[in-house]
């Protein structure tokens, strides 16, 4: 059949029927000069949200209570809901006596504890207790459930990478055979074995890209800041910023999510910088403002705020007498592993 014969219809119709599109007529921008995230800079007010969290703790049905989480939805990323391009943040509240159905998922997760005492998460058979300021890990495909045996409500920040996992279309989910895992090792054993002195148990080593530490307790984090005191130079953009590390590798706690804690000294005013990964901050203590692509995010204690990828950010501690402490997490490990990390100072 000759080429001429094939061309009797509209060739553009023909190639469309053959599953193709002409690049020369595509007006979308597949190659932008630089990234422009759909996510926007945003701050969530803990003071404003807390009463509602407690309200819903009162009124939700038993079934709903298990998902009693306010998703911190970036206005630019509403469906599916996400907080930055690859990451999710939510605030969860549970009440004494409540438990959650054990399950696991491909998405990596952590909890940073905001308020309350007496609850624990069971991760792969280890009960890990939660206190304010603690960072608890539930890496991908680790079984987890929780229970609250204390008094009063317990609130925490949930962080996950499900937006990334779902964008990659690689996510699995499974319910545990029973509602609750049995503890099969001593409570909090991973933290107790791994947290002190850069000492690592040398029997039965099981190195993994996921940290084996169930809890990076605030008590230790606090000790770190006390020890460093004012003797460290720190980062000109991020202050005295410490990375939570995986003891087996010295690297981030999970292959997709890195967690950090930073102290901005009284009066700290960071330089402006941007980087390809996005970051979600939680204010552990203090108040200040972060200027993100020219937009002022004023933050106070326990607020959460989002800095999209490649948005310039500049932190300022509003107090001349008190520290600000910022917990943060980002998709830096994922972006770096793919050779896609880039950063620059913004004059």
Q: Alpha-carbon Rg of the chain, whole angstroms?
A: 23
Of 209-228, which residues contact Fe ion (CB under 5 A)?
Answer: 223
Residue placing its CB nearer to a second copy in the complex, 167 or 289: 167
Stretch that binds a second copy, among 72-80, 94-102, 145-153, 265-273 (CB under 8 A): 72-80
Calpha distance 263→237 (Å, rounded): 11
Among 125, 152, 201, 266, binds a second copy (CB under 8 A): 201
Of 92-151, which residues contact a second copy (CB under 8 A)?
Answer: 105-107, 140
Which of the choices Fe ion, a second copy, none does residue 153 contact, using the CB cut-off of 5 to 8 A by kind? Answer: none
Residue placing its CB nearer to Fe ion in the complex, 179 or 223: 223
Which residue's CB atom is positioned nearest to Fe ion? 196
Question: What is residue 181's three-state secondary structure?
Answer: coil
State yes or no: residue 155 binds a second copy (CB under 8 A): no
Which of the choices Fe ion, a second copy, none does residue 51 contact, using the CB cut-off of 5 to 8 A by kind? Answer: a second copy
Which of the choices a second copy, Fe ion, none does residue 320 contact, using the CB cut-off of 5 to 8 A by kind? Answer: none
Which of the choices Fe ion, a second copy, none does residue 68 contact, using the CB cut-off of 5 to 8 A by kind? Answer: a second copy
CA 253 to chain centre: 11
State the burial class of residue 302 (Cβ atoms within 10 Å of its Cβ: 0-12, 13-18, 19+).
buried
Q: Are strands 313-317 and 288-292 parallel, antiparallel or unpaired?
A: antiparallel
Contact (Cβ atoms closer than 8 angstroms) between residue 181 and residue 125 = yes
Stretch that binds a second copy, among 48-56, 148-156, 285-293, 319-327 (CB under 8 A): 48-56
State phi, psi for 224 to the nearest 5 degrees: -60, -45
Of 190-209, which residues contact Fe ion (CB under 5 A)?
Answer: 196
Which of the choices Fe ion, a second copy, none does residue 321 contact, using the CB cut-off of 5 to 8 A by kind? Answer: none
State phi, psi for 292 to the nearest 5 degrees: -120, 115
Q: CA-based angle 304:297:242, to the nearest 5?
A: 55
Of 228-287, which residues contact a second copy (CB under 8 A)?
Answer: 228-229, 231-236, 238, 240-251, 254-256, 260-261, 276, 278
State yes or no: residue 170 binds a second copy (CB under 8 A): yes
Among 8, 32, 62, 182, binds a second copy (CB under 8 A): 32
State yes or no: residue 179 binds Fe ion (CB under 5 A): no
Calpha distance 306→278 (Å, rounded): 8
| Pair of tokens at residue 28 | 């979308």
Calpha distance 207→127 (Å, rounded): 21
Of 223-252, which residues contact Fe ion (CB under 5 A)?
Answer: 223
Calpha distance 121→123 (Å, rounded): 6
Among 37, 121, 138, 290, binds a second copy (CB under 8 A): 37
| Pair of tokens at residue 48 | 């404003």
Alpha-carbon distance values, 206 to 211, 249, 324 (Å):
10, 11, 37
Residue placing its CB nearer to a second copy in the complex, 37 or 181: 37
Residue placing its CB nearer to a second copy in the complex, 340 or 346: 340
Calpha distance 100→144 (Å, rounded): 9
Residue placing its CB nearer to Fe ion in the complex, 148 or 274: 148
Contact (Cβ atoms closer than 8 angstroms) between residue 117 and residue 150 = yes
In the complex, minimum distance from the CB of residue 273 to Fe ion, in angstroms, rounded to a whole number: 28
For residue 274, which of 234, 317, 309 has the smallest C-alpha distance? 309
Among 8, 27, 41, 42, binds a second copy (CB under 8 A): 42
Calpha distance 249→269 (Å, rounded): 32
In the complex, minimum distance from the CB of residue 324 to a second copy, in angstroms, rounded to a whole number: 17
Residue placing its CB nearer to a second copy in the complex, 72 or 119: 72
Question: Would you tell me which residues interact with Fe ion (CB under 5 A)?
Answer: 196, 223
């Amino acid at each position: 059949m000759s080429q001429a014969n094939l061309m009797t219809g509209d060739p553009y119709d023909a190639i469309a029927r053959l599953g193709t599109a002409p690049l020369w007529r595509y007006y979308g921008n597949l190659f932008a000069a630089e990234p422009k995230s759909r996510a926007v800079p945003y701050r969530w007010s803990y003071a404003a949200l807390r009463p509602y969290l407690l309200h819903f703790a009162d009124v939700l049905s038993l079934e709903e209570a298990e998902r009693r989480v306010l998703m911190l939805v970036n206005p630019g990323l509403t469906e599916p809901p996400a907080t930055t391009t690859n990451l999710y943040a939510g605030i969860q509240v549970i009440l004494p006596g409540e438990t959650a159905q054990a399950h696991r998922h491909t998405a990596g997760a952590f909890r940073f504890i905001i308020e309350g005492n007496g609850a624990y998460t069971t991760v792969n058979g280890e009960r890990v207790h939660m206190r304010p300021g603690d960072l608890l890990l539930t890496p991908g495909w680790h079984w987890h459930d929780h229970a609250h045996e204390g008094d009063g409500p317990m609130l925490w920040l949930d962080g996950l990478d499900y937006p990334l996992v779902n964008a990659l279309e690689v996510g699995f989910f499974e319910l545990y055979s029973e509602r609750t895992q049995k503890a099969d090792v001593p409570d909090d054993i991973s933290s107790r074995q791994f947290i002190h002195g850069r000492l690592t148990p040398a029997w039965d080593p099981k190195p993994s890209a996921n940290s084996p530490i169930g809890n990076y307790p605030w008590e230790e984090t606090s000790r770190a800041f006390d020890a460093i005191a004012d003797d460290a130079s720190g980062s000109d953009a991020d202050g005295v910023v410490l990375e939570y590390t995986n003891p087996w590798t010295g690297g981030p706690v999970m292959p997709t999510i890195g967690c950090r804690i930073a102290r901005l000294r009284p009066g700290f005013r960071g330089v402006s910088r941007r980087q390809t990964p996005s970051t979600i901050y939680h204010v552990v203590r203090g108040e200040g403002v972060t200027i993100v692509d020219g937009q002022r995010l004023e933050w106070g204690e326990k607020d959460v705020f989002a800095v999209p990828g490649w948005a310039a950010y500049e932190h300022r501690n509003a107090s001349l007498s008190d520290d600000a402490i910022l917990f943060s997490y980002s998709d830096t490990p994922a972006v770096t592993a793919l050779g896609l990390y880039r950063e620059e100072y913004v004059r």
